[in-house]
Copies of this chain bind each other. A is one copy, B any other.
Amino acid sequence: MDDGALPPPALTPPEPSAGYRKGGEARARILTAALAEFGEHGFKAATTRQIAEAAGVKLPALKYYFGGKRGLYLACARQIIDVYAVRMLPLVSEAHAALASPMSSEDARARLKAVLRPLAELLVGAGKTPDDNIGDWTGFVLKEMTQQGPAFDILHGELWAPGVELTAGLIARVLGQAETGQSARLQALMLISSLSAFSVVRPIALKVLAWPDAGAARFEKVVAQLEAQVDALGR
């Protein structure tokens, strides 16, 4: 998992939006398959052949569109960030703006809940809308965070850091602090991590709870538990 030089920036044809002709939806199929495969096995253990087969293309297509395994991996990371941005950015930037001015404790509490719910939705019920072609991107993200693979920096900088910082900021306001301190960051981190039960160790979670899956009704229980934790914040 060394972070060597990027592949030669993919000279000839791989630009995503080659407005030229229609054919290149193979690209999308490859991306989807890669996301699933990388998410399940991690960067090294995933095989390009398996990805190609799942995508219904031949092996060299991967090089053609993405320059190689690593380029494909990075493209997956970017795709994840895009989808995340579409779903979360409005809420996030709104909350961020609100942080600038003073804020009542109860206001912060409400806003914190408003941010946590879609986040939980994203983590617990990952991929429920099939139109964004992200399947189990939680696996991808978390494997990358653990193994510090080629996409660590981009995922850290664009997903985790802003997410934790925002949550920490809101928590600080709930506690009546004007500045975001280390304690608030720790609490934010642990709060977000508590959701990891339903992504990292989802098989365990379902088995322990005797849930057949992570359906909508069960999702509400998770959110309720999260919100209870938020309510308990000021004690």
Enumerate chain A interface residues (CB-CB to B < 8 A): 40-42, 44-45, 139, 142-143, 145-148, 152, 156, 160-161, 164-165, 182-183, 185-187, 189-197, 200-205, 207-210, 221-222, 225-226, 229, 231-232, 235
Q: What B residues does A161 contact at CB under 8 A?
A: 207-208
Q: What B residues does A191 contact at CB under 8 A?
A: 194
Task: List 5 additional A-B contacts (Cβ < 8 Å) besides A41-B42, A232-B232.
Answer: A146-B203, A164-B208, A193-B193, A193-B194, A229-B232
Q: What B residues does A194 contact at CB under 8 A?
A: 190-191, 193-194
Q: Is the CB of A160 within 8 A of B196?
A: no
Q: What B residues does A152 contact at CB under 8 A?
A: 203
Q: Is the CB of A189 within 8 A of B205?
A: yes
Q: Is the CB of B190 within 8 A of A197?
A: yes
Nearest CB of B to A225, in Å? 6
Nearest CB of B to A188, in Å? 8
Q: Is the CB of B156 within 8 A of A146?
A: no
CA distance A113 to B193 in the complex (A): 19
- Contact of A146 (CB < 8 Å), options: B44, B142, B164, B221: B142
Q: What B residues does A139 contact at CB under 8 A?
A: 146
CA distance A210 to B165 in the complex (A): 12
Q: Is the CB of B235 within 8 A of A145?
A: no
Q: What B residues does A232 contact at CB under 8 A?
A: 229, 232, 235
Q: Is the CB of A201 within 8 A of B193?
A: yes
CA distance A146 to B202 in the complex (A): 7
Q: What B residues does A182 contact at CB under 8 A?
A: 209-210
Nearest CB of B to A26, in Å? 27
Query: Would you list 18 pairs from A and B whose C-beta atoms are within 8 A, ordered by A residue?
Result: A40-B147, A41-B45, A142-B200, A142-B201, A145-B201, A146-B200, A156-B204, A160-B204, A161-B207, A182-B209, A185-B209, A186-B221, A186-B222, A190-B194, A190-B195, A190-B226, A193-B194, A193-B197
